[in-house]
Amino acid sequence: MFYIIGLGLCDETDVSLRGLKAIKGSTRVYLEAYTSILMIEKEKLEAFYEKELILADRDLVETESDAILANADKEDVSLLVVGDPFGATTHTDIIIRARNLGIPTRVIHNASIMNAVGACGLQLYNFGQTVSLVFFTETWKPDSFYDRIKENADLGLHTLVLLDIKVKEQSEENLARGRKIYEPPRYMSIPQAVNQLIEIEESRQENILSPETTLAVALSRVGGGDENERIVAGTLAELAAHPTEAYGQPLHSLVIVGKRLHPLELEYAETFAINREKFQQVARDVYKCALLG
């Protein structure tokens, strides 16, 4: 059997009992280590699972998956994924490859940012399409995400924006020269993400994202418990100007609030606001959301 097992969002104890049983029964256990990160060291996972973990980078999962799937039709092999297995298209692809090879597959689910985002008080059924925001460069500033945000906005829906991470990435020079030298890990911060969103709005000029009147909620380490989790709400301008350290440690996510904002959502989300009165005013005047009480 080839297992893909979700690990949840926090630490070694988030794995399900079913997932732990599959891990302990596997001959080889791989830890996917590039679409997301856990909040603890690999060694702590190994101690808890009582299994050695093989780190699986992008090359191994996407282009050398035969090594992972080798003999999985004769023995149990597990691929561990932060969050839920279907949080990234990469994992769908490797399941298809396994099935094409006649290998039985089983997916064991867990919490992911796609449902844990509800911690900010915005109701999950009011979310539209999720988008990813990559690091801009001087010559590469893709803006296709803007169209998805616009489609959500036209329906009044919230947009979950997943922020880029760079783990085990090579510089253009090292890549061109074939040198296996990797850049330090980078994680996009909330202020950087907001500034990129505003930059694209200034370029597109379709009045979807207004620094002063678009509400958003920033989240970090959701699912990590009270001591790690941070939620901050405000206008885009407020979030961009807020100190980076106030958002806590990565990983960060951002929710752009849709205009179909329910009063109960407002009542919950405003507790995280940088400026509660301003948050309420924008919600009332721009979003036409009534205040409760």
Q: Which residues contact 86 (CB under 8 A, 6 or more apart)?
A: 92, 107, 109
Residue 83, class by beta-carbon neighbours within 10 Å (0-12 exposed, 13-18 middle, 19+ buried)? buried
Query: Strand pairing partners for 255?
Result: 160, 217
The amino acid at residue 105 is: T
Reference 217, options 141, 268, 291, 285; nearest CA is 268
Q: Which tokens is 76 given? A: 């149990």
The C-alpha atoms of residue 90 and residue 111 are separated, in whole angstroms, by 18
Q: Which residues contact 144 (CB under 8 A, 6 or more apart)?
A: none
- DSSP character at residue 70: T
Question: Residue ranges for the binding site for S-adenosyl-L-methionine?
Answer: 9, 84, 87, 112-113, 163, 222, 252
CB 107 within 8 A of CB 85: yes
Residue 180, class by beta-carbon neighbours within 10 Å (0-12 exposed, 13-18 middle, 19+ buried)? exposed
Q: H-helix or E-strand containing 216?
A: strand 215-220
* Helical H segments across the chain, by residue range: 17-24, 42-49, 58-62, 65-69, 89-100, 113-116, 144-154, 172-177, 190-204, 236-241, 263-269, 276-285
The C-alpha atoms of residue 19 and residue 3 are separated, in whole angstroms, by 9
Question: Residue ranges for the binding site?
Answer: 9, 84, 87, 112-113, 163, 222, 252
Question: Residue 73's Cα: distance from chain center in Å?
Answer: 32
